[in-house]
Amino acid sequence: MLSAEKVVANQIVVPGSGIYKLVLEGEVAATARPGQFVHLQVGLATDPLLRRPVSIAGIDRERGIVTLFYRVAGRGTALLAGVGEQETLSVIGPLGNGFTLPQAGELLLLAGGIGIFPLFSLMDAVDRSKVKVKVLWGAENRQLLEAAGRQRLVDLALDYEVSTIDGSMGQPGLITNLLESYLRKRSLESTQQRISTVACGPPVMLKAVTEICLREGLPVEVSLEERMACGVGACRGCVCTVRAAGGTLERRRVCKDGPVFKGREVVWDAEG
């Protein structure tokens, strides 16, 4: 689980975006699954706080390579951005549980901003000859969509729609509007295809799309993000609240019990 991975690439994707693509070669790829993450050492080995959790965006088992994306947002990720090619990174992972991979029906992917990254690995893994994949992606603006990989959706010939808060691309407004329009359209077509939904993005977006999905009777999995120290379930620094079977509230560790949870179980407004 602890390995030394070789940095094959660590580059900013678009100048000024703050988003980096990190490609690692080593042992993680052999067992990684979509939805899991790695805990990367970005500073001195003696400082556990200098690890950062980053979700796995691409898995190439044959070449032993995983691809990650991260946005520089503080000291840890700034240190990570300074790591050079051919250097070695201490990596704990792959960690956490992953997304459920549907075998039939429709898979609706809901991404908020850079929440698209973990969904990339799911798009790659799903058998699109059996599963219809639809992507709805909301972001602040066009620049973010382009920097975070809109072209990849085009290259994969995926059926996708976007929304932007500033109206610079796609439907103006929030992803919730996009989701409501899509579900309305879908119900008019009265398709019988079974639909499963996976959402990844900021908590406020996850809460809003989960409410819509549950109202419509759609199963939804959400990938939660939390600050993490140990990353392996030991410190309980990353807990969230879920409503377990029977209605009792329970604390779960995002790193170990998640990061993927059933949307209907998550208690969004629980006290931290």
233 binds ligand FES (CB under 6 A): yes
252 binds ligand FES (CB under 6 A): no
158 binds ligand FES (CB under 6 A): no
- Amino acid letter, residue 110: L
For 45, the token pair is 């080995």
* Nearer of residues 53 and 115 to ligand FES, judged by Cβ: 53
231 binds ligand FES (CB under 6 A): yes
* Nearer of residues 46 and 103 to ligand FES, judged by Cβ: 46
Q: Choose the binding region for ligand FES from 79-87, 145-153, 198-206, 226-234 (rule: CB under 6 A).
A: 226-234
Kindly tell me which residue out of 30, 73, 204, 234 binds ligand FES, with binding defined by CB under 6 A: 234
* Nearer of residues 158 and 232 to ligand FES, judged by Cβ: 232
DSSP string, 183-197: HHHHHHTT----EEE
Distance between CA atoms of residues 114 and 201, nearest Å: 7
Given the DSSP bridges, would you call strands 51-60 and 65-71 parallel, antiparallel or unpaired? antiparallel
* Nearer of residues 218 and 254 to ligand FES, judged by Cβ: 254
Kindly tell me which residue out of 237, 262, 264, 265 binds ligand FES, with binding defined by CB under 6 A: 237
Per the CB < 8 A criterion, the answer to whether 135 and 148 are in contact is: no
Residue 112 β-bridge partners: 138
Distance between CA atoms of residues 52 and 215, nearest Å: 35
* Nearer of residues 62 and 271 to ligand FES, judged by Cβ: 271
Distance between CA atoms of residues 18 and 14, nearest Å: 8
Nearest 5°: the CA angle 227, 232, 238 is 30
- Count of residues in contact with ligand FES, rule CB under 6 A: 12
Q: How far is the CB of 255 from ligand FES (least distance, A)?
A: 3
DSSP state of 266: B
Q: Choose the binding region for ligand FES from 23-31, 57-65, 125-133, 236-244 (rule: CB under 6 A).
A: 236-244
For 238, the token pair is 């990353």
Q: Choose the binding region for ligand FES from 12-20, 159-167, 197-205, 229-237 (rule: CB under 6 A).
A: 229-237
* Nearer of residues 194 and 227 to ligand FES, judged by Cβ: 227
For 228, the token pair is 């993490």
207 backbone dihedrals φ, ψ, rounded to 5°: -60, -45
Residues that bind ligand FES (CB under 6 A): 228-231, 233-238, 253, 255
